Amino acid sequence: MTRHDADNASRPVLGGRFTFPGTELTVQRMGYGAMQLAGPGVWGPPRDRDAAVAVLREAVAAGVNHIDTSDFYGPHVTNQIIRQALHPYPEGLVIVTKVGARRPPDRSWKHAASPEELTTAIHDNLRNLGLDAIDIVNYRAMGAVHGPKEGSIAEQVTALAELQRKGLIRHIGLSNVTADQLAEAQTIAEIVCVQNNYNLAHRDDDAFIDDLARSGIAYVPFFPLGGFTPLQSSILSSVADRLGVTPMQVALAWLLHRAPNILLIPGTSSLAHLRENLAAADLTLSPQVLEELNGIVASTMTATH
């Protein structure tokens, strides 16, 4: 047993464990997303930096060993807070970042995906996180903002593969991509995870998730609770009331039940919300409840057509 294995074996189990394909990186399925540690609009410092540090430290103390971040959050802010809170990093902590965008002074989100821009972004992440190499880097295709759009990503994946050969990146993932883009990327490098928009009410990736599960590739839903428009459903609220938990806890638990390769990274800057999110990993949903919740996407589609 390696030190990494021993460390993971001693952690509380948060929704089960998952090992990224072709790696020795084993994580709890309930992780943490750092985007909300930045200021309003994911820009500038948080109102309370000490509170942000406390959230990170409690997450790791509770067993979280998968943190998702990006140096364009802030920009630079979340990575600097992660370093302040957790460096030197505990054994077994897996930090995943993403590249492909930048934040100019007007606070917009701009595509930044040339090989030169991706290289700069990797060095920014390394510097602000205080790392010599990053465990996993996702290329975040801008696509249709919060949804993918077909088009070649070979140039970007090739650039990341070169940085991997140089030892700056250990493993490569993709974000906001289609199945065809994944297939193209796999001709260039091994892909260990896909991070796309998915939740109870937004299930365009159902078939994609099942295909990835058969291949052992992780699927990490962003906006697992609806993102900027939080999930609202009478079905969800009814189930939560019956179980004596919050609707968001039910939504997270549903994702853990949905497929064994789904890894969660809900974000928060609140200790109370962090504890609620982590508690969702212990929530068991019966087959009857799961069937009821699966009806949410049908009702959502009916309401929007």
**Strand ranges (DSSP E) for 81-128?**
94-99, 101-102, 110-111
Dihedral (C-alpha) 274, 280, 282, 285: value to the nearest 10 degrees? 180
Q: What pairing do the DSSP bridges indicate for beta strands 94-99 and 134-140?
A: parallel
DSSP state of 192: E
Q: d(Cα 75, Cα 82) in Å, to the nearest integer?
A: 13
Which of these is catalytic: 73, 139, 198, 219? 73
The answer to whether 264 and 278 are in contact (CB under 8 A) is no
Measure CA of the first residue to CA of the last residue in the chain; give whole Å.
54
Closest CA to 89 of 109, 67, 116: 67
Instruction: Pull the structure tokens for residue 158.
Output: 């090739």
Tell me whether residue 219 is one of the annotated catalytic residues: no
Angle between helices 234-243 and 287-304 (to 10 degrees): 160
Active site amino acids: 73
